Each structure stands twice: as structure tokens, then as C-alpha cells.
Amino acid sequence: MLKYVFFLYFFFGLFLGILGACAYFSFFREPTVVQPVAESSWHLKSIDTDLPAGDEGARIKYGFILITKTSEYIGPLAKEDKMRFAGNNLACNNCHLNGGRKIGSGSFVGVYNRFPQFRGRENKIGTLEERINGCMERSMSGSKMPEDSEEMQAIISYMKWLSDGVPPDIEKKFKGYLPIKIPTFKADTTVGRQLYQTHCVVCHQEDGSGVAIPGKTFSGYVYPPVGGQDSYNNGAGMNRVLTAAQFIKYNMPFGTTHDNPVLTDEEAYHIAAYINTFDRPEKPNLEADFPDKKLKPVSTPYGPWTDEFDPDQHKFGPFPPIIAYYKEKFDLKKSK
């Protein structure tokens, strides 16, 4: 009997000892240091320092050259007629700034990862090659490049290189154009002209013709045209006031950054309306765009549309009533 009592006291004492030790360490031990999560090792790639060796690096670099010297290699200044796919002397770099590496300017960072994707303008799942050719026919006012051409595949390689290993949160920051708060009133081209004179005319000139690179012979632009026959055509996304306003707000005047804009949303809106009154090339067969017409962006300035709003309102606004109509009628949420 005494043996059992002894064991009972022994285990009870052991239990109290363990409990006391736990209490001691809970109150008096040093707190656990939580190691911070290591920051992403991702960085924005540079053509000068990050190219891989060999053929892959050469192909990526050629893609970069095509993006930044488009007219010289695949435009009107190309030596061979068969290489003149772009119809104007703009460069891809004029809209996709810093070689497609700038936030808020239709960056190429991450774009490769988002294709194939559905495109309302064609009403189908499209490839990145098809998207590039859309730019060739509209922003560059030219013709399609063969999808298997060295030039197309070099541009694809460059975009893929910029997109490799991009964390999702970083990719989201670089995606497309940044939003503006859409004004509730019609854009005023008179106000836009005044703002253009203040902020834009030095680079883009009174008539929107831009500033050419100095030299005895024409070799492209220091500052690109925003109007005239050497600018984007009327089928380009930049010919939509809301799209142009997004670009202008976060990129203009030249040197503006997305986190420190110079212009307000309303100022960018008025300027966008004004520059899109300039004459520009006309793309044929625009009526074929957006086979499902209800998918057409509300600021698309050419018909037909699946609503009864005035064509002038589709071009200059106000856009919120059109946006509200498509939400109520088709349950579509539109932002441009």
C-alpha cells in the first residue's frame, strides 16, 4: 500500500515540476524572434546588364531594337520594301515607354503570361502575335507581320524575357494603363486646347506633328506625332478618349511617373479629347470591329453600337450614362 502511495506522490510531484517549468519559461525566457519574409529577388530587367548569353540573348536584344527603332527596321525607313510593315514612323516605344518597362504605359512586364486571352475586338481567344499585329494595323497604321517571322519572334522573346518570373503582385502593378476617375461631364476640347498649349505643345507642336530627330535626312522622332498622317489611325486604342486620358495622366508631360502625376484626371480627359480632334489616317472596315457590339468600349468613337446614344457622346462623353446603360441592360461592367 505504501508503495502505491509513494508512486502517486512521485508522479504528482513530477507533474507539478513540469507545470512550473513551463510557467517559468513562458514568463522569463526571451521571446521568439520571427524572421521577416525575404523580399522578392525580382528586379526589372535591363537590356544592358541582364541579357542571357548566346542566341537567346541576341534574339531578345533584336526584339528590344525593333521596339525602340520600329520605323528603321520594320517601318517606312526600312531598307527593303518587304520589311515595311509599320505604316508610320512611330516606334512601339512611343506608347510602351522605356522599352515597355514603365508602369502605366501599357508595359510588357507580365504581358506574355496573359496570353492567349479573349479579345472583344475580334470576339475570340487571341494569341500575343495577333495582339501585336493589331497594333501594327492600328497604332502603327500598317500591315500584319508574318507570325513566324524573325522579327515577330524577336519581339515575342523580348516580352517573354520581361515577363519571366514576375511575381503576381508586381505583374498587377505593371498591367495596362492605370485608371482615372471618369468625369461626369462631356470633355471640353476648348479647355483641352488650352491645356495642350501649356503642357504639350513644346514637344508635340501646335498641329500635333511632333519633333523629328535632328539631321539632314529624316530618321524618326524625338517626340512623336499625336496627329497627322504619321500618327496612329482612327482604329487605334489611343483614339478613344478614356484610353488616351489614362495614358496622358500617368505619363505626360514627358518624364511624369505614375506615382507623381502632373495633370489631374479632368485635365488629362480634356487633353485627350482635344488631340483626338486632329486629322489622322483612317483604318478601313472598322464596322467589323467587335462582332458582338455590346462588348465595344463606351468611348469607341466609331459605330455601330448597341445603344441609342449620340455618336458625339461616344467620342467626348459624358460616359457614365453609357456605362450605366450597359450595366443595366447587359450586366456588363465597363471602365473605358
- Residues 77-124 pLDDT 10s: 999 999 999 999 999 999 999 999 999 999 999 999 999 999 999 999
Q: 299-323 burial, b if ≥16 CB within 10 A, otherwise e?
A: bbbbeebebeeeeebbbbbebeebb
Residue 44, class by beta-carbon neighbours within 10 Å (0-12 exposed, 13-18 middle, 19+ buried)? middle
Strands 221-223 vs 211-212: parallel, antiparallel or unpaired: antiparallel
Nearest 10 degrees: Cα torsion 220, 223, 226, 227: -50
Ordered per-residue pLDDT tens for the chain, 336 residues: 444 434 444 444 444 444 444 443 343 334 433 333 334 689 999 999 999 999 999 999 999 999 999 999 999 999 999 999 999 999 999 999 999 999 999 999 999 999 999 999 999 999 999 999 999 999 999 999 999 999 999 999 999 999 999 999 999 999 999 999 999 999 999 999 999 999 999 999 999 999 999 999 999 999 999 999 999 999 999 999 999 999 999 999 999 999 999 999 999 999 999 999 999 999 999 999 999 999 999 999 999 999 999 999 999 999 999 999 999 999 999 999
Domain 54-174 has CATH 3.20.20.70: no
User: ω into residue 253 within 30 of 0, thus cis?
Assistant: yes
Residues contacting 193, CB < 8 A, separation 6+: 274
pLDDT in tens, 289-302: 999 999 999 999 99
Whole-number Å distance between alpha carbons of 56 and 149: 16
The region, left, alpha or beta by phi > 0 then psi within -120 to 50, assigned to residue 51 is beta
CATH 1.10.760.10 in the chain is located at 54-174, 177-336
Burial (CB count within 10 angstroms: exposed 0-12, middle 13-18, buried 19+), residue 90: buried
Distance of alpha carbon 85 from the chain centroid: 23
The three-class DSSP label of residue 178 is coil
pLDDT for 41 equals 87
> So what's the architecture of 177-336 in CATH?
Orthogonal Bundle (1.10)
- The pLDDT value given to residue 147: 98
Q: Which helix (H) or strand (E) holds 21?
A: helix 2-28
* Cβ atoms < 10 Å from Cβ of 43: 10
- What pLDDT was estimated at residue 40? 65
